[in-house]
Chain A
């Protein structure tokens, strides 16, 4: 089955914020919440400057830490993207702590982040940010094609940006946002090797087995308890029945 991905070309992004507002209006996000944050990046001193923008958003990791830690299934992988069923979110904030990119945020007690415009895409459209981007810094499509486009774009900008590179081909199992970087990842504060946080490994190695153990134990204990309870209950019923029967017999005698 095809997996999908975004192309994010930071060499092209001109910081116009159109994607931010398109996302907010299309998804009708409440004031104070946004899924994309654009920030300026400048290196050097006047007049020897290089600069551009970081266009920060959910990177839709294949090995998604947020999905790994989500105890309710509110976060899940589908079509290569990290989607959300907000109704299932319990507000535990594990995903907020686990994300190596610092993406999910809590809004009124539930986690929220870019869900790759699931409803729009399923209705046959393009994600709102991609659809409006005036500098053609964004694309959406099958991941293979997006990756090929990213590689071609990197080649085409090497004359201007000798350190240009593709980010996200392999990182975190491969990102669902393939980034064309004009320079090294650090310049836009992206981790060179995004690793699931200790919490995630902790969760997978300790908490999950432990909870599984605990859950099994509780099931067993509950089961035993239920058996005992039922036995007691039946016994009580029996006693009661006998008492009632005896009583009515007595009454009948009167």
Chain B
């Protein structure tokens, strides 16, 4: 069989190779083999860039939500290569492995190809194809039935990745549901964002404002740059390292970044706040803080100084299992470099449920160092100037948040939808503030409290591999009246949809403009390189088609996406044509430093000063100053489950991408070598991971290594999907998400602390 295919492919290859650029019509699955055969039988075929005229389009990458500007090269109707856009402030001509793998993602033969409607039980994965028209007519009817019976707030919309705007932000606000959520908020950045708003009143934004070029000391708290392969961050980090900046890495694992560190602090998991309090203690006790800065820009120093008096390095050493002298030394290293020193805010900060306070402690250190607004510290992000497409007022102001959204202002009263209901996620009751807590929207689907959520639209969120407690999510999915899933690939949760709407990938569509808050704010455009493959459609088109059928015509007044984009671009004197001439990016001037504010305060707190002591948290009885709260210890025989990134994959999204799958087809469970030896487990063995609730995942390969403390195990996130439609990724490795039977809600930000699950290793029978 394979042989026959090979020969057919070879013939195709010959045909296309000699037909020139216009005839390059190879299906994705064939190209790898065709090239192999080309190598074998024809000698070296001409390089792709000599095979016809190259069409260049500009885009921003969608292989992770970081959105590097890219240059896409297409020959005929086939995308051949993606590179970083040299003019783009994020990519600067370079790309990570995932970005380089974009071509392979787009030509993944497992892609969803046509809209489908469920025919079997929900979750059985049985579907039949349906026309787009019929799909939208039916979805619209069901959405309106839910709205009529329960109110429009009973429709939840979850979204992630770069096209989520159209659903989670635009459609949700037009429709009138406050229940729009993104995993990038309370499963990721909420604690660091709320901590920043409470402390400095300045949002961190999608792009952590580390002033890398002039930095003299970098502190990474769990940030594992190199495994977390955000392109810009790798570049900036290694350049700063090359310039001789001191690097301090706090991580229970000897990460790729720890290997570059001048000081590695192999901390006991869950004790970071104790270390940070001890650093504050040293900075104050040894008079190493920036007194002038503190006097001019902060409030609550006296309370802070009194608070940390007892938190000596010796006190912290007993908790963190770090050498007290190492704690002292590193505090001095930070002080010596200040104000060109900062603890990186990081991304995924939802760890133990007390995470906003940990991040406040980190920001207090950044403040004592005088880092905010000083060169080499933390600059002030600025959003680019760009008008929205004119539309009537939305039915509700959104609070989906997330790293890709504009930071919305927190209002005392939560906005209510058309039938008077506020968010169902427990904001203001279960937690204080911030963006919608995506994981808290699952509960109302089951209990109907505070009111039922009956319909769910999911755009690009891998429901069962991102939201903790996936058993609960499955229970919720069974109770809904309507589940609509929009995705590019048949991910695990797609089997639970009533309607599957296949999206055209980022190389096949126009999209919303990307407006990036940055040191030099900039705007990126997404141009399609090729027409949508199969019977797929862009997300904006789907949102509009649905909107037109549910009475939201006034919000979708444009006829074409080009008209929408040109109208927005007109506000900066541009249009799509000019954006193309400008090579896809327009850069504006920022206001990064204190000096740019002419003495006015850039800090957005009510007093215009950095709140070392938080009045808002004190009033809410959530602690005006950060305190160390111990987290539960693993029971005998169990290890704390930690998780993170590895270089070539994003979340649970890219594991099936052929070229990336080839490099890392599965994850490994990291365990301390001495501990593994004691358990009779060897490097390369396969084991099951089982949590306290008895939930299992695997089997997964053991990485027995000295690079990790004895009290935890580590898994790269995103593997172990059970999705038969993903021919390469299905069942490969272990799923950390499956083992997260519990999480601890951060009472400030609504973040889901997920590092409180414990697992044991069970040898494969």
Query: Which A residues form the contact surface with B (CB < 8 A)?
Result: 12, 14-18, 20-22, 24-34, 42, 44-47, 49-53, 84-88, 107-110, 112, 119-120, 123, 131-137, 156, 160
Contact at A134–B708, with CB atoms within 8 Å? no
Bound CA–CA A17/B648 (angstroms) = 7
Contact at A112–B39, with CB atoms within 8 Å? yes
Contact at B256–A123, with CB atoms within 8 Å? no
Q: Which residues of A contact B44 (CB under 8 A)?
A: 84-87
**Among the listed stretches B186-194, B257-265, B623-631, which one makes contact with chain A, having 4 or more residues with CB under 8 Å of it?**
B257-265
Asked if A119 meets B47 with Cβ closer than 8 Å, knowing A20-B97, A51-B707, A132-B84, the reply is yes
Cβ contact of B32, chosen from A31, A86, A110, A120, cutoff 8 A: A31
The 7 closest A-B pairs by CB, nearest first: A87-B43, A30-B36, A14-B226, A119-B47, A135-B238, A21-B100, A108-B40
Contact at A47–B266, with CB atoms within 8 Å? yes
Question: Does B658 touch A at the CB level, under 8 Å?
Answer: yes
Q: Which of A88, A119, A137 has the most CB of B within 10 A?
A: A119
Contact at B706–A31, with CB atoms within 8 Å? no
Contact at A46–B39, with CB atoms within 8 Å? no
Contact at A26–B658, with CB atoms within 8 Å? no
Smallest Cβ distance from B47 to chain A, in angstroms? Answer: 4
CB contact list, B183-241 vs A, under 8 A: 225-227, 229, 231, 234-235, 237-239, 241
Question: Would you mind naming 6 contact pairs between A and B with Cβ atoms under 8 Å apart?
Answer: A18-B647, A24-B659, A28-B35, A51-B259, A134-B231, A134-B235
Contact at B662–A132, with CB atoms within 8 Å? no
Contact at A42–B42, with CB atoms within 8 Å? no
Q: Which residues of A contact B254 (CB under 8 A)?
A: 42, 46-47, 49, 51
Bound CA–CA A123/B48 (angstroms) = 12
- B82: nearest residue on chain A (CB-CB)? A25
Contact at A28–B234, with CB atoms within 8 Å? no
Bound CA–CA A46/B647 (angstroms) = 23
Contact at B659–A133, with CB atoms within 8 Å? no
Bound CA–CA A107/B98 (angstroms) = 25
Question: Does B12 touch A at the CB level, under 8 Å?
Answer: no
Contact at B648–A21, with CB atoms within 8 Å? yes
Q: Which residues of B contact A21 (CB under 8 A)?
A: 97-98, 100-101, 648, 659-660, 663
Smallest Cβ distance from B710 to chain A, in angstroms? Answer: 8
Asked if A31 meets B39 with Cβ closer than 8 Å, knowing A51-B707, A136-B239, the reply is no
Contact at B43–A49, with CB atoms within 8 Å? no
Bound CA–CA A28/B17 (angstroms) = 14
Bound CA–CA A108/B34 (angstroms) = 12
Question: Does B122 touch A at the CB level, under 8 Å?
Answer: no
Bound CA–CA A137/B47 (angstroms) = 26
Contact at B101–A133, with CB atoms within 8 Å? no
Smallest Cβ distance from B284 to chain A, in angstroms? Answer: 28
Bound CA–CA A137/B260 (angstroms) = 13
Asked if A160 meets B39 with Cβ closer than 8 Å, knowing A16-B97, A49-B254, A132-B95, the reply is no
Given contacts A31-B659, A47-B254, 16 further A-B contacts (CB under 8 A): A12-B241, A14-B226, A14-B260, A15-B256, A24-B659, A30-B35, A44-B706, A46-B706, A47-B266, A51-B707, A88-B43, A123-B49, A131-B93, A132-B100, A134-B96, A134-B234
Question: Does B298 touch A at the CB level, under 8 Å?
Answer: no
Bound CA–CA A91/B583 (angstroms) = 45
Question: Does B56 touch A at the CB level, under 8 Å?
Answer: no
